Amino acid sequence: MGPIEILFCTVVVIFAFIGSVRGAHRELGNSIILMYVVAILRFADERGWIERSVQVIRIVDVETERINDVAFLLVVIVFTAVVIVSYQGLTFDFSTKALVGVSGFLAGLGVGALNGYLIAGTYWYYADRYGYPFNLLTGPLTPVGQILLGYLPQTIFPNSMYWAIPATILMILRILR
C-alpha cells in the first residue's frame, strides 16, 4: 500500500463527492455531529479516559503493550458507529430548498471534503497516537505525511473544545432558520 497520506486524501475526495450528491444543506448536519465527536474524543483522550476505559472493562491485561491496540480499536468502533449513524439517519437540514447548479455542487463538494477531513483525520490521528497498531503502517512516514500530521483535526486546535465552537455556531444557525 502507498503512503498513508494517499489514503487520507482518497477518503477526503470520496466524501467530497458524497457531499456533492447529498448537498451542502444535508452535509452540514453531519458536520455538526462530526465536530462534536472530534471534540469529545479529544477531550476524553486528553484526560486518559480511553486507556482507563480499556483497563476498566478488562479486555487486556494492564501490563501488556496491547492496551494501545485495544484503545485504538475502541476509538475506531465508537467513531465508526457515529459516522454510520449520522450518515444513515436523519440529520439537521439547513434549508428547505437545496442549492442547485454549480454553486450547489461546489458547496456540497466543500462541506463533504470537510467531513472527509474530519473522518480520515480522526482515524489517522488516533492511529498515530497509538503507534499504528495492527501494523497499519510498516515504514516511516513520508515528509508530506509528517507535515500533514500537524494539520489533523485533533492537532489543528490547541484545545479539544475548539471544534465544539463551530459546531455550536452551526447548531444555532440551524435553530434560528
Q: What is the pLDDT of residues 95-140, one digit of tens each?
A: 667 677 898 899 999 999 999 999 999 999 999 999 888 887 878 8
Distance in angstroms between the alpha carbons of the first and the last residue of the chain: 46
| Cell numbers that stand for 52 in this block | 482507563
Query: Does a structural domain hold residue 107?
Result: yes
Closest CA to 163 of 34, 28, 19: 34
- Determine the 3-state secondary structure of 47 from DSSP: coil
Query: Does a structural domain hold residue 148?
Result: yes
pLDDT at residue 17 is higher than 70: yes
Query: Does a structural domain hold residue 85?
Result: yes
Query: Does a structural domain hold residue 25?
Result: yes
Confidence of residue 89 (pLDDT cuts 50, 70, 90): confident
pLDDT at residue 92 is higher than 90: no
Query: In degrees, to the nearest 5, what angle opens at C-alpha 161 toward C-alphas 116 and 5?
Result: 30
User: Tens of pLDDT along 33-79?
Assistant: 999 999 999 999 998 888 888 777 766 555 566 788 888 999 999 99
Number of domains in the chain: 1
Q: How far apart are CA 121 and CA 166, in angstroms?
A: 17
Query: Does a structural domain hold residue 81?
Result: yes
Q: Which domain holds residue 147?
A: 4-172
- Determine the 3-state secondary structure of 93 from DSSP: coil
C-beta separation of 40 from 29 below 8 A: no
Q: How far apart are CA 61 and CA 12, in angstroms?
A: 36
Instruction: Spell 40-75 as b/e; 16+ CB within 10 A means b.
Output: bbbebbeeeebbeebeeeeebeeeeeebbbbbbbbb
Query: Does a structural domain hold residue 177?
Result: no
- Residues with Cβ within 8 Å of 42's Cβ and at least 6 positions away in sequence, in order, are 154, 160, 163
